[in-house]
């Protein structure tokens, strides 16, 4: 799995948009969306919101967790916790990336939001790297558990972690074969 697939999966997450048109429900395979009434928020999958925004048919009602104060609070809580913080959305980073990219006109202080999201990513990545190194330093390991990790984080660390565990296994095998 790569980041494009994670973005695709995040497209099914619901967001609130404020349409500037009035229309009945839209019939989709996954269920009906709408009805749409100009000026009234409605929940739609992210991919529909992107489509409507590109056609200038709506504005995003920015999720509370993407507001600057909430992002600062998340960063503070992430700093204070030894483990990974549970984020407000299953696809937090993917949605944040898509919102910054496709709804930038609807964000207040979009550059600061982008910076705060990157800060949160960096802090979490450092924790994951630290946990991974502790896991790899064990002479015998069976499994590890990492709570509250996001799919995109797993995707980013999968390749290097697999390579590192294979190299560690080879080193341990070489160590055991030279001792015999």
The 10s digit of each residue's pLDDT in 66-118 is 999 999 999 999 999 999 999 999 999 999 999 999 999 999 899 999 999 99
Q: For residue 130, give Cα distances in angstroms to 84, 115, 123, 124, 126.
A: 12, 23, 11, 10, 6
> What pLDDT was estimated at residue 141?
62
User: Is 57 a domain residue?
Assistant: no
Number of domains in the chain: 1
What pLDDT is stored for residue 174 in this prediction?
Answer: 74
Tokens of 166: 């294979």
Examine residue 21 and state whether it is found in any structural domain, yes or no. no
Domain contains 18:
no
CATH of the domain at 124: 1.20.58.1020
Cα separation, 127 vs 150, whole angstroms: 13
The H or E element spanning position 26 is strand 26-28
Q: Is residue 30 assigned to a domain?
A: no
pTM for this entry: 0.84
**pLDDT tens by residue, 92-103:** 999 999 999 999
In a domain, 98, yes or no: yes
Residue 31 lies in a domain: no
Domain annotation covers residue 158: yes
Q: Residue 101: give the domain boundaries.
A: 3-8+63-179
Q: Which pLDDT does position 37 carry in this prediction?
A: 96
Count Cβ atoms below 10 Å from residue 41 Cβ, excluding itself.
15
Taking only the tens place, the pLDDT of each residue in 5-52 is: 989 999 999 999 999 999 999 888 888 888 999 999 999 999 999 999
Residue 170 CB: number of other CB atoms within 10 A? 10
């Amino acid at each position: 799995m790569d980041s494009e697939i994670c973005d695709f999966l995040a497209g099914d997450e619901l967001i609130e948009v404020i349409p500037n048109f009035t229309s009945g429900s839209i019939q989709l395979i996954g269920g009906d969306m709408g009805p749409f009434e100009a000026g009234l928020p409605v929940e739609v999958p992210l991919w529909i919101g992107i489509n409507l925004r590109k056609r200038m048919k709506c504005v995003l009602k920015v999720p509370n967790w993407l507001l600057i104060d909430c992002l600062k609070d998340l960063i503070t809580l992430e700093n204070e916790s030894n483990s990974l913080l549970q984020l407000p959305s299953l696809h937090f980073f993917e949605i944040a990336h898509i919102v910054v990219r496709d709804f930038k006109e609807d964000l207040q202080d979009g550059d600061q939001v982008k910076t705060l999201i990157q800060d949160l990513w960096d802090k979490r990545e450092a924790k994951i790297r630290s946990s991974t190194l502790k896991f790899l330093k064990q002479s015998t390991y069976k499994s590890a558990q990492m709570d509250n990790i996001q799919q995109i984080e797993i995707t980013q660390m999968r390749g290097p972690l697999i390579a590192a565990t294979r190299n560690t296994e080879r080193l341990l095998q070489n160590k055991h074969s030279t001792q015999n």
